[in-house]
Amino acid sequence: MSPERQLTAEEENQWQELSRHIEWAKRFSLIVLFVEDSLLAAVFLQRLQQHIQGRVSKLHIIKPSQPDNLAAFVFKELRLGQIPHALVPRWLELHQHRTPEWQRAIDNFFARFNERRDLIRRDYPCPFIILLPLAYKSRLREIAPDLWSVRTFTDELHPAPPSPPTPLPLPTLVAEPIVATLDVDALALKEPAIREWQRVKGLAMADREWFLVLVNAFAAAFEAGFYPLALGLALQLVGLADKLLREDSDDVINIENAGFALRRLGDIQQATGHYDEAYQAFKQSEQLGRAWLSCEPENAYALRALSVSLENVADIDRILGRYDAAVMGYQDSLQLFRELQTCLGATPEVLRGLSVSLEKVADMDALLGHFEVALTGYKESLQLCRELQVQLGDTPQVLRDLSVSLNKTADVEQRLGCYEAALTAYNESLQLRRLLQTRLGDTPQVLRDLSASLDRTADAEQHVGRYEAALTRYDESLQLRRVLQNRLGDTSQVLRDLSVSLNKTADVERHLGHYEAALLNYNESLQLFRELKARLGDTPEVLRDLTIALENLGDCETSLGHTSAALAAYQECLPLLERLQATQGYDQYSPRIADIKAKMAELTGRNKAV
């Protein structure tokens, strides 16, 4: 998420002063920023990255995620960031950590830093920028007096004084005119909200009343998987919100409705794989959320709307591989949800929002390999889901949320080797999915959720050696994916789900020695991934999926003795893995790269022997 913060004249001067100290530094230079405004710090970070781009390898950003062994972690990062003959500034973020546990860890870090200051100044001749909470300023003088005396530059980043709210007009959102009529088939008309929209769309009614009709119709179309209709309704919704906001941009209800409409447009664009368009809609919704919050700073609904928009933007950043931006967006959103809990207490809406937000942050921790940290977040989220079940009973939303949380917790437990614990959680989740199917019927969401839960349960069955049971689960999941393809068409999500399911089924078939059956599924899966690459471009997710499909195909061809075909698959896979690794700040793909090279060397040796 790119910081959306306009600098005041005073803040611009602060930035210029900071950049000069960094630019002038030819040796170790300690710069301490005491932060009260995290968004301003994010703007300074973004500017610094742009400022030094091309003049050093890159800015080395250090973001500790847990207080345990903080000092050891930071000193290790300092060593890893060393590049001979290059000035690589370090940027250490500690300003967002304010719990007693973190303060103790920061105290310990600065005490050790103070003791080792001469060695650090000698070994790391570069600017070292440390961001701390403003409240820690007096504490730093006490903990590290010698370090305080050798600092080069200190500043405080305060929130800008609030300015009078100004109308925020909605940008032109739709390039083409919105048609008044949309194609609606008989199946869609089975939905009451869609029938109501059809019935009243030609009648005279107030714009806000019509807005609610569109909201309900969109929700029904989106949930039932009628995506072309849902897109048309979302465009009408945004167009109407645009009209209302332009007529009266001082009315906060119009700002709220415009942000809501944009989020719905982003939802359908994301569901159909139009990520750039979804990002633009979510970003505009975020801007409106900030405008609403500036008009009503104490409004909890404004706070929640902004936090949801931040999550939406971060979702797209994650999909497109912009992981730093995604982490920042999710953490900002989580902070807002914790503020909501403080303001409103443990209401069901607050608990659910907090639970989802915790999962989003934990998702990124898991993606980046911080599994222990992720498990802590997932377990906190799971506890909130169980509290909601006690408060609200077994509603469909409660059951689905609980199932998702169980799956995510089990995913990390499985990565940590706790296979039986993971299988227990997966089985509980699967039972909840089957219960939802019984209650709600075979809606696209129900079928997709059930298929995903079957896959996860089968994954765990494999890990404990129950391959026949795993294959049964995978086969059931694959059939559900084909049902969804027939019903929804070849959307990007449908194709990816189907290709993943084919891969998983083939994995077990190969393990059981059913090589020909596995080969058919691997080839079909690879073809789908190629189609997704042509459609979506070279996003990290697309390339990662493609490498998995190619490696699996190569392994199966090897098992069948098809040396040339196996080599061709590995040769296509290797540069994609190397390309992915080049974009990462840690060795995520190095083991796979080494493994592929070893497989290629073995096959090449066989060919020479023949």
* Band of pLDDT at residue 36, cut at 50, 70 and 90: confident
Q: Nearest to residue 196, comparing CAs of 166, 223, 176, 219?
A: 219
Bridge partners of residue 157, in order along the sequence: 35
Q: DSSP letter at 521? A: H
In this predicted structure, the answer to whether residue 58 has a pLDDT above a threshold of 80 is no
Q: Which helix (H) or strand (E) holds 472?
A: helix 467-488
pLDDT of residue 56: 43
Q: Nearest to residue 255, comparing CAs of 183, 125, 165?
A: 165
pLDDT of residue 605: 80
pLDDT tens per residue across span 406-432: 999 999 999 999 999 999 999 999 999
Residue-wise DSSP of 205-250: --HHHHHHHHHHHHHHHHHHT-HHHHHHHHHHHHHHHHHHHHH-TT
**Highest mean pLDDT (candidates 148-162, 174-188, 531-545):** 531-545
- The residue that leads in pLDDT, 263 or 150, is 263
Angle at 346 between CA 340 and CA 350, to 5 degrees: 45
Report yes or no: 525 and 497 within 8 Å, Cβ to Cβ.
no
Residue-wise DSSP of 147-188: HHHT-SEEEEEPPPPPPPP---PPPP--SSPPPS-----TTG
Average pLDDT, the chain: 85
pLDDT tens per residue across span 237-274: 999 998 888 888 778 888 888 999 999 999 999 888 78
Distance of CA 544 to the CA centre of its chain: 16
- The residue that leads in pLDDT, 345 or 85, is 345
SS3 assignment, position 531:
helix
pLDDT of residue 182: 65
Which has the minimum average pLDDT: 190-194, 233-237, 379-383? 190-194
Contacts of 586 (CB under 8 A, 6+ apart): 368, 369
Distance of CA 113 to the CA centre of its chain: 34
In this predicted structure, the answer to whether residue 167 has a pLDDT above a threshold of 60 is no
SS3 assignment, position 298:
coil
Give the number of C-alpha atoms closer than 13 A to the C-alpha of residue 278, restricted to the C-beta side: 23
pLDDT tens per residue across span 92-121: 999 877 667 788 889 889 988 988 888 888
SS3 assignment, position 563:
helix
In this predicted structure, the answer to whether residue 397 has a pLDDT above a threshold of 50 is yes
pLDDT of residue 88: 74
Report yes or no: 174 and 52 within 8 Å, Cβ to Cβ.
no
Ordered by where they begin, the domains of the chain are 9-157 (3.40.50.300), 402-488 (1.25.40.10), 490-610 (1.25.40.10)
Bridge partners of residue 380, in order along the sequence: none
pTM, full prediction: 0.57
Strand order from edge to edge, sheet including 60-62:
60-62, 90-93, 127-133, 29-35, 153-157
